[in-house]
Amino acid sequence: MGKRLPYTPRSKVKSALRQLWLRGRERGNAVRRDCNTCVYCCRKGTKARNKERVDIQVHHMRGIEWEELIDMVYKYLLVHEDYLECVCTDCHDELHLKGD
């Protein structure tokens, strides 16, 4: 195995975000709303045997700026350890109350 990096690689962040999207309620709601059917050709999605296989995907009409999204994750969530500290639950709640 290779050397373990001191930070989360961009590929892991993108993979996690993609998995979140694939399991997200918003995506599921779109599939249900459109009855698992292509809005352009009206073919219904199926994976049944002995039938033509039709995979239905959910398309972002405004696109996804993956690099920008990953940059935001690094900027606000996966920050350098110098900007992180361990605190108990009570103190953590107190810190957030003070910040409001």
Return the pLDDT at 41.
Answer: 95
Return the pLDDT at 72.
Answer: 96
Rounded mean pLDDT for each run of 10 residues along the chain, 100 residues in total? 84 95 95 96 88 91 94 95 95 87
Return the pLDDT at 6.
Answer: 87
18 vs 2, 14, 23, 41, CA distance in Å? 25, 6, 9, 26
Q: Is residue 64 part of a domain?
A: yes
Return the pLDDT at 82.
Answer: 94
Q: Is residue 2 part of a domain?
A: no
Q: Is the pTM of this model over 0.85?
A: no
Return the pLDDT at 100.
Answer: 59
90 vs 95, 99, 100, CA distance in Å? 9, 14, 16
Residue 46 φ then ψ, to 5°: -150, 145
Task: Residue 91: give the domain boundaries.
Answer: 10-99
Q: Is residue 56 part of a domain?
A: yes
Q: Is residue 50 part of a domain?
A: yes
Q: Is residue 1 part of a domain?
A: no
Tokens encoding 13: 């962040």
